[in-house]
């Protein structure tokens, strides 16, 4: 149910309804989404805390969930330690939970090794649906354009919850945004507005 608070007006009082909001961030999708705007952009220079405050406006923040997987240090130490710095910064945000999954090694047709993240989509889906069923929020903000979440959005809406999607246009499923109550694009203007002014760790 909605939180309530009273605000006085000339004729008396009225009730203003604020919604309980939980935010679910698909870290890998966000990283690659930034690259569609500018190949030089990186999530280590994005201020997630200020961005979340902006998009929830005057509603009540219940929780922020961030999902990703650690990079392999032996592949690129500079990138690895910058990512570790991002995780540390995220953990310092009030009500933010960082859920780290694993990277699984694969081999392509040319016998070159590469890594894929395993389990992040499942963890996000289970958390978002569980919280909806337990009535922990009124509105879920999904920061991802991954079409794999389309059915999740349907299930969450079936629990009488509102789902808002924030995503990068070039990396977003049409089916996903069609199922959401609303969607907003993360564009160059937004990325520049929430550029993090701190220093990333460099080794």
Beta strands in 119-161 (DSSP E): 139-143
**CATH number of the domain where residue 136 is located:** 3.40.50.1010
Residue 140 counted as domain residue: yes
Burial 48-57 (b: 16+ CB within 10 A, else e): bbebbeebbe
Residue 82 counted as domain residue: yes
Residue 42 counted as domain residue: yes
Closest CA to 190 of 174, 164, 169, 171: 169
Contact in structure between 18 and 60 (CB atoms under 8 Å) = yes
Residue 101 counted as domain residue: yes
CA–CA dist 150, 177 (Å, integer): 8
Q: What is the mean pLDDT of each run of 10 residues along the chain (203 residues)?
A: 47 69 96 93 92 96 94 71 91 94 62 58 95 98 96 98 97 96 96 76 34
Q: pLDDT digit string (tens) for 139-192? A: 999 999 999 999 999 999 999 999 999 999 999 999 999 999 999 999 999 999
CA–CA dist 25, 34 (Å, integer): 14
Residue 203 counted as domain residue: no
Residue 154 counted as domain residue: yes
The total number of structural domains that make up the chain? 1
For 32, the domain range is 19-193
Residue 201 counted as domain residue: no
């Amino acid at each position: 149910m909605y939180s309530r608070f009273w605000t006085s007006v000339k004729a008396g009082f009225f009730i203003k309804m604020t919604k309980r909001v939980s935010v679910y961030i698909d870290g890998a999708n966000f990283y690659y989404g930034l690259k569609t705007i500018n190949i030089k952009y990186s999530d280590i220079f994005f201020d997630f805390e200020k961005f979340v405050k902006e998009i929830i406006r005057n509603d009540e923040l219940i929780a922020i969930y961030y999902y990703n997987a650690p990079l392999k240090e032996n592949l690129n130490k500079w990138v690895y330690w910058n990512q570790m710095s991002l995780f540390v910064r995220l953990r310092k945000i009030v009500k933010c939970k960082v859920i780290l999954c694993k990277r699984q090694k694969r081999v392509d047709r040319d016998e070159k090794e590469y890594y894929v993240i395993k389990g992040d989509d499942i963890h996000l889906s289970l958390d978002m649906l569980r919280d909806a069923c337990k009535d922990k929020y009124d509105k879920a903000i999904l920061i991802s354009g991954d079409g794999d979440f389309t059915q999740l959005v349907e299930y969450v809406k079936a629990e009488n919850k509102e789902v808002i999607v924030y995503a990068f246009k070039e990396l977003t499923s049409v089916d996903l945004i069609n199922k959401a109550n609303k969607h907003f694009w993360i564009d160059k203007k937004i990325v520049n507005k929430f550029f993090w002014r701190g220093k990333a760790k460099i080794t």
